[in-house]
Amino acid sequence: MERILLGIDVGGSSIKAGLVDVEAGRLVSELISTPTPQPASPQAVVDAIAKLVSRMPKSDGPVGFAFPSVVKNGKARTAANVDRAWIGTDGAALLGDALGRKVVFLNDADAAGIAEMHVGAGRGLRGTVIVLTFGTGIGSALFNDGVLWPNTEFGHVEFHGKDAELWASARVRTEERLDFPAWIERVNEFLAYMHGLLWPDAFIFGGGVSDRFDEFSSLLRSPCPVYPARLGSQAGVIGAALAAAHFG
């Protein structure tokens, strides 16, 4: 029987929601979104999610909630691109109370990675795979033989004296007005560095900018294959719903 679950993906700039057929691993509703409130305090984010959900067809069952922070035992532990008040917040309980539903709370890049590994570019890939999402920050999800090692936060390894995401995220590309050759040079350095640390068998290149992969793929240099993410901006929502199906 088909099971339809709600996935929510909170990013630095927008919040997305969609209904996902978790057997097929695909959206069965429109992907709707709203700007992330600024400041992105816990209550403001949860209110924005509740409003977004009220615009969607009714659904039930557990809800997957992907969020850009380290998540340990249901609590956010970091807040790089959101309000610091999230640190220590039990995201599952807060959103669960607002929606009256069980909520599974997880890191956004881990959610996107789960989706890519199950139904996207990583399907069938064995060995060590690193999914990177280039957006407001750089998110990472590390898999070995399809099993996730959560909360890796490779966007925060120190690179050129600062967090890697402050050097090579998609936001930095826009803010510093870097063209693809200049930006990909930074990305290539980052991939080489990550490769030296973990010797992955493949990278999966995700985040909104992966929609334009064809425009910069010829510039990418990596010791192992780099595959474009297949699920684009839907990955976090689909992965959140898959996590809810699994852990909810």
Binding site for ligand BGC (CB under 6 A): 68-69, 78, 80-81, 107-109, 133, 135-137, 139, 153, 155, 165
C-alpha to C-alpha distance for 55 and 104, rounded to whole angstroms: 21
Residue 150 beta carbon to ligand BGC: minimum distance, rounded to whole angstroms: 10
CB of 207 to ligand BGC, least distance (A): 8
CA atoms within 13 A on the CB side of 48: 23
The structure tokens listed for 164 are: 């890697």
What is the closest distance, in whole angstroms, from the C-beta atom of residue 233 to ligand BGC in the complex?
Answer: 13
Closest separation between CB of residue 238 and ligand BGC, Å?
Answer: 16
Q: Which amino acid is at 16?
A: K
Q: Which is nearer to ligand BGC, 24 or 197 (CB)?
A: 197
CA distance 121 to 137: 21
Taking CB atoms, the residue at the shortest distance from ligand BGC is 137
* DSSP per-residue letters across 155-172: GGSEETTEETHHHHSHHH
Q: Which C-beta is closer to ligand BGC: that of 101 or that of 207? A: 207
CB nearer to ligand BGC: pick between 101 and 103? 103
If the CB atoms of residues 10 and 202 are measured against ligand BGC, the closer one turns out to be: 10
Tell me the CB-side half-sphere exposure of residue 139, using CA atoms within 13 A. Answer: 31
CB atoms within 10 A of CB 79: 19
Q: Which is nearer to ligand BGC, 13 or 29 (CB)?
A: 13
